Each structure stands twice: as structure tokens, then as C-alpha cells.
Amino acid sequence: MRAYMFPGQGAQRTGMGEGLFDLFPGLTAQADGVLGYSIRELCLQGPMERLTQTQFTQPALFVVNALSYLKKIDQGAGRPDYLLGHSVAEYVALFAAGVVSFEDGLRLVQKRGALMASAHGGGMAAVLGLSGETVEALIQDHGLSDIFAANYNTPQQIVVSGKREAVEAAEPIFMQAGASLYKVLAVSGAFHTPFMADAKAEFGKFAADISFASPEIPVVSNVTARPHLPETIRKQMVEQITSPVRWSDSIRYLLAKGLAPEDFCEIGPEGAAILKPMVKRTLAEAGPLKAEDLLAEEASRAVSEPSMPTPIRETESVVFGVENLGSRAFCEAFGLRHPYVTGAMYKGIASADLVIRMAGAGMLGFLGAGGLSMEMVESEIQRIRAALSKDAPFGVNFISHLQRPHLEEALTDCLLRNAVKIIEASAFMEVTPALVRYRAKGLSHSGRGVQAANRIIAKVSRPDVAAQFFAPASERLLEKMLLAGQITSDEAELLRQVPMADAVTAESDSGGHTDQGMPFTLIPSILKVRDAAEERFPNFGPLFVGAGGGIGTPEAAAASFVLGADYLVTGSINQCSVEAGTSEAVKDMLAEMNVYDTAYAPSGAMFELGSKVQVLKKGLFFPSRAEKLVNLYHQHESLETIDSKLAQQIQERYFKRSFADILVGLLGGASDEEKERIQRMGKYRMAQTFRCYFNDATRWALSGDMDHKVDFQIHCGPAQGAFNQWVAGSDLQPWRQRHVDVMAQRLLDETASLLSRRVTSMLPRDGRT
């Protein structure tokens, strides 16, 4: 299904309608006859001071919106299933539905605009960050009898309207209640309130002589947020002058009828994008109406709702929407709606369900393939593909196996076999043959140069590693692979002309393996590497830098975007979600942690090299026990040299089994070469034995084995604690309400709101606000 939307006041701009008047000369002449002036001249030449006067704005928008609709239909777009227009633009929807003729619709709008322009002493203000219920309660509790909720743009973007002095004086009340922005608008009337009663009465007399036909296409009413009934259209259009505009409920109604955000098409002045962002925010802030809500609201259609303010123009204030965050080019390159990525968490914690949920919301999720068998990886890829549309975005993690390159090669085979087009390369210190082969198999020539079908997003924590990924594969590596027959000479030539990665995520201090980097130094340095790479590959297309690590609040996300990140990557916070592939016991623990409840522990995979991972420490013995084992490893040459009493305690308390039993297990699954090494080298045998504790600690956590709860190894950064504090007291406090896409959308929405507030607060003051 499709819905066509028409924007109201605020969408006007000088030059709008260019080309339309020549396409429809008869209707243009008809408009001139009704208005008594040249609509072409007003729209194309202005001046803007005249075009923004209500009595001229409303007719101009009606004409441009109506002609834009006709052009779209003439181009074969087809008629929509629903129509709706914001405030004055509802008349365009009625015209498109065949309810009023072009001439009668314009006459109604001209009269409406003149009446509204004659109103004086009123004012309106946009309130961001508070729900409609909260705004209404504040008005009632504070006795604000001269102010009304006049427009519900989204569930958390409300416009109040009333006497100007009352509107201006009310700012502290709403800001103290938690509003992120209170902006008085440049209007002189108390539109969509009882103060417009005289205008409503006069307009009613005028509208009585206009013919209203039954809609050929359902038109959603601003007054009721439901499709117009033929017998009440005239009455509701008169009431619209004093009634709130129920825009967010109109959108929620259509979402409940089965429309998705991409099914809403905004038709109006070219370059205007006012209503489309409201659809996305409404979905994020409240979602579709529930079936029971629909029944209840159908029974009480007289409930009023606010009117849309004149949308805030860029020249009046700074208001960020989600669409302003990050890089739109990144979204287009990877087929996303939002510049938001969920990073891979090993052993399937970043599950297929998580990836599917993110893709359904137009964001990118990576399957946590690290630690899974190749059979399981392939099965999960196929499950993801079966659940998604053909072009839905998703990716698979590609973790480095420096000591076991055959695992990398096996994963490359799996990815190519299943046509996986995006991977997250993580834990690499240098580019490897398996990565080069994956990249090579997706390269081709086009009119714009070499294009890469197999996309790589590398997660790095050092600028020098970023430089490797923003460069072609080395000649040494290409020559070696050519000799081995891993790539062809044509592929080698193509590889010389492209960087190895399309994007690099700057990974700051985070859960799991971490170099404890700071985003304030890491991101700028990697951005410089990226800029140099773009100069080197001018025909390849834009390269991107993302921010990962420590992102669990709007403040952290905002800081990352301000630093220049094109996209965000979240990790720890997704582990405490419905879709995460770990145990409920782990999620219960993560939901209760604070920012100081993490510690650095030795890495099970690389403790011999001093590598560390960040883990949860609250209520757990794992960090201290892991440290104890590594200290023993460095102090002794074999298990046999450890004090017998201490060795006994470790076997009983840490492993819950003997070293002898562990050795049997190690030898049973090892190759002949590995068996010989374990039996011959005491130090190596001790390392492999201790490594079993790390593996067991992870397995116990993933399965929720409560007999070993104190030994759970849970990779996690302080972002989880910060997220818990942020959502405390909200619907996202219980982890069973935390769906990854809802968390992502909430984080993006609140980041946009925060940036609006912070940037606006830094603007020069004019002495009034």
C-alpha cells in the first residue's frame, strides 16, 4: 500500500513550482483568476517576505502541491491507497481524492489564509522531548488557560498555541519538565485553538456554498486521524481551524493498517522534506496504533489533537532529525536507512535473530561468526537470507586467526558460496590472503572505475592498521597469491586499484579485546588516513569512518558524530537484548550493572602475549581467577611445579575437575602434531590446560549454567552500565523490552534531540530567548 502526503506551511520557498506552471498552463491561469495575481510570479520570484505571509503562503502551497501531484500521476506513478495533508495541505488531499475541484479547493484555501492572516495577538511554540499527555497535563496543572496543545507532529514533538504573552511566558514550565527544546514560532495567530472561533464561524459560512463530493480515495482527517466520512467532510474542514491537528495519530493509524515508512511519499515543493522524517520519528517514538486502541479511538473520534505549527525553518533555529546524523552517503552505499551498525559478538551472541531484526529496521547487523563451526555459520546465513528480502542489508563477522589461517580460508569459501556481500573484519593486525581473496572475487570494471561488490568494514584500534585497510593489498601478498593460484592476474590488477576496505570502524575502549583507546584521539587520526586514501582513489567512491566502543547513551553517540564519524557501531548494549544469543542469566546480570562494574582480565586466546579483554566483574570471580592462572603460567614451567595444595584448590574451585581429566580431553581432540607438542612441552601443556578454564567460563555463561555462575566470562564494556542508567525508569529498563532495533532507534532519536538542544544553546541570543 502507499500513502501520499502533502506538506503545509513551512514548506514554502522561493523558486518552488519551477516547471510545473508550464506543464499545466490551464490550471495556472485558473489560479491567477481566483487569486487576482500571478501565482507563477509569486512562487518563482517571491519576494520571500511576501511568500511567507499566511494569506499568500497557503494558496501558493495548494497550487504547487496540487500540480506536483498531477505531475506524479501523469508520470505513471499510480493512485495511492490513502491521502493526507498537513493542516492547510489537507485541501490538496481532498482535491486529489476528487472531493473538491481545483478551483473550489483554491477558493477555500484563499479564504482560510486570509482569515488566519487577520488574527493577531497569538503565538505558537514547538515543544520537543515531551509527550502529548505530558504537555496537556502541564497546561492543566499550571492553569495555563490561555494555551492549548495545537499540533502533535510526532508523539514527542508537540506545538502549543494561544495568547502570545502566555506562550512566551510558559517556556520555563516545559523546560523544567524535561523538554529538550522550546521554540517560539514566527506566527501572529493562535491557530488551531478556540481563539480562532470567529474565523471558524466566518469560514463556515463561506464553505456552505462549496460542493464536497464523496472521496474516491480515503483521506485521513486532521481532526479525527481517521478517514473522512462523506457526510461530515465539510463540518470537519470547518472545525479544523480551531481543532488540533492529529498528525502523529494519523501516521500511527496508517502504520497499523500495514504501511511501512517507505510506503509514505511526500509530495510538495522540490527539496522540502518535512513530513517524511515525522513518519520515521512517529514509528520510533510510539509505533503503530494497537488493535485495541483503534477500536477505542473509533468510539471516541471527538478527541482533539494538536495542530502542526509552521515547521521550524533552518533560518529560525537548529533542529536535528535522525536524517541529519552521520553520513547519508554511507547509508546509500550499504542500503541502510540509518547510519547505525551492531557489531559482531562472538559465538553467535550477535545472533541471526539480532541481524534479522536490524535489517528489518533498515540498519546493519553482523552475525557473530567467531567461535562457531563452519556448518553453524552457513546454517545461520541461510536462516537470515530466508527471513529477509533479497536486498535487505546484513553482514557476517570475519575474525582474524593469525595462527590458524585455514579457518580464515574456510570462512572465505563459506562467504563466497553464500554470496555474503558485507563482512566485518575484526582483530586483524595486517591484511591476510583470505581477506584479499574475498575482496578479489567481487571486483569488476564499470564506467566509473573499479567497483567492489564484496564490501569490507574493518574494525581497528590503530591508525597504522587503518592505513593498511585504506590501501590496496601489498604487492608482496599479491605475488604470493598469484603463485599459489588463489587469485588471477586480472583480479590482481583490479586489487591494485582499490582499497581493501570500504569503511573502517575506529574501535575505542570497549568490551572484549581492547587497546583501551580514546575516541577523541583515535577517530581524528583515522579520519586523516581516510582523507588521504580518498585522494589516492578519486574514482572509487567515498570511504567511511565509523565510531565503536563506549557508545551506550545519546551523549556518547552525539560526541562520536561531532568528531566526524559517518556511522555508529554498538556492541555491549546489544548483548543485553531480547535477540542476543546468550543466556537469560547473563542478561539479568548485565541489566543490573553500572559503569564501574567492569575489569580487564587476561585473554584466553592470547594471555601468553599479555593480551587483555574487558569483562563484567560484578558478583564474579572470573577476572581474579583468570589473573591468578596467568600469573602461575608466568611463574612456573609446568603444572607439576605448582605447589600441590594450590594446584588442588585450582582444580576443585576453578575447573571442577582434575588436570588429568583435562589432559584426556585435550589429547582426545588434537592432531598427532598437537598431541606430541602437549606431551613434550610442559609449559605448552600448562597453557592449554589453563585455556580450558577460559573456554569453560564462556560456555557456562552462554548456557546460563548457574552451578558455575561466579566463573562466568562476560565480555562487556562500561557502555552497558551507562545505557542502564539512561533508560532507568523507562520502558527499556527491563531487558525483556530491549529489542535491538528499538534500542537503536531510541538512541538515534535522543541523539538528534540532544544535539538540537546543545547546538541551539550555543547560538547567539537575541535578548528574548
Active site includes 221?
no
Characterize the bridge pairing of strands 181-184 and 157-163.
Answer: unpaired
Cα distances (angstroms) measured from residue 682 to each of 546, 609, 610, 625, 691: 44, 18, 20, 21, 14
For residue 316, what are the contacts with CB-CB under 8 A and spacing of at least 6? Answer: 183, 185, 186
Alpha-carbon 767 to chain mean position: 36
Going by C-alpha positions, the residue among 479, 478, 468 that lies closest to residue 443 is 478
Give 737: exposed, middle or buried? Use CB within 10 Å, 0-12, 13-18, 19+.
Answer: middle
Among 128, 143, 144, 125, which Cα is nearest to 177's?
128
Q: Where does residue 229 fall: left (phi above 0), alpha (psi -120 to 50 degrees), or beta otherwise?
A: beta
Do the Cβ atoms of 161 and 122 come closer than 8 Å? yes
Do residues 105 and 95 touch, judged by C-beta distance below 8 A? yes
Catalytic residue of the set 68, 86, 87, 753: 87
Exposure on the CB side of residue 736, measured as CA atoms within 13 A: 3
Residue whose grid cell is 522540490: 270
List alpha helices for 142-187, DSSP H.
Answer: 164-169, 171-176
CA nearest 126: which of 753, 691, 711? 753
Helix/strand number for the chain, H first, E second: 34, 20
For the record, the C-alpha cell of 47 comes out as 519576494
**Are 161 and 241 within 8 A, CB to CB?**
no
Measured between its terminal Cα atoms, the distance across the chain in Å is: 44
Q: Looking at the DSSP assignment, which residues form a beta bridge with residue 266?
A: 5
> Contact at 8 Å (CB) between 424 and 364?
no
d(CA 469, CA 19) in angstroms, rounded, equals 47
Q: How many CB atoms lie within 10 A of CB 688?
A: 18
> Which amino acid, 381?
I
- Which ranges in 568-718 belong to alpha helices (H)? 572-575, 584-591, 622-635, 644-650, 659-668, 672-680, 682-703
Residues 670 and 679: their CA atoms lie apart, in Å, by: 11
Q: For this structure, is 192 an active site residue?
A: yes
Q: Which residue has the cell 494538536?
A: 306
- 736 within 8 A of 545, measured Cβ to Cβ: no
Residue by residue, DSSP assigns 290-329 as PHHHHHHHHTTTT---PPPPPPPPTTT-----GGGSS-HH
Burial of 520 (0-12, 13-18, 19+ CB in 10 A): exposed
| In the block, residue with C-alpha cell 486570509 | 114
Of 345, 765, 303, give the one whose Cα is nearest residue 548: 345
Q: How does strand 503-507 pair with strand 455-460? A: parallel
- Amino acid identity, residue 541? G
Handedness of CA 719, 721, 726, 729 (dihedral sign): positive
- Judge whether 188 and 119 are in contact, CB under 8 Å: yes
Cis previous bond, 47, omega within 30 = yes
**Rounded Cα–Cα distance for residues 57 and 7 (Å):** 12
Cα–Cα distance, 101 to 103 (Å, whole number): 5
CA distance 57 to 676: 86
Q: Which of 86, 192, 228, 513 is the catalytic position?
A: 192
Cell of residue 557, nine digits: 553517540
Q: Which residues are designated catalytic?
A: 87, 192
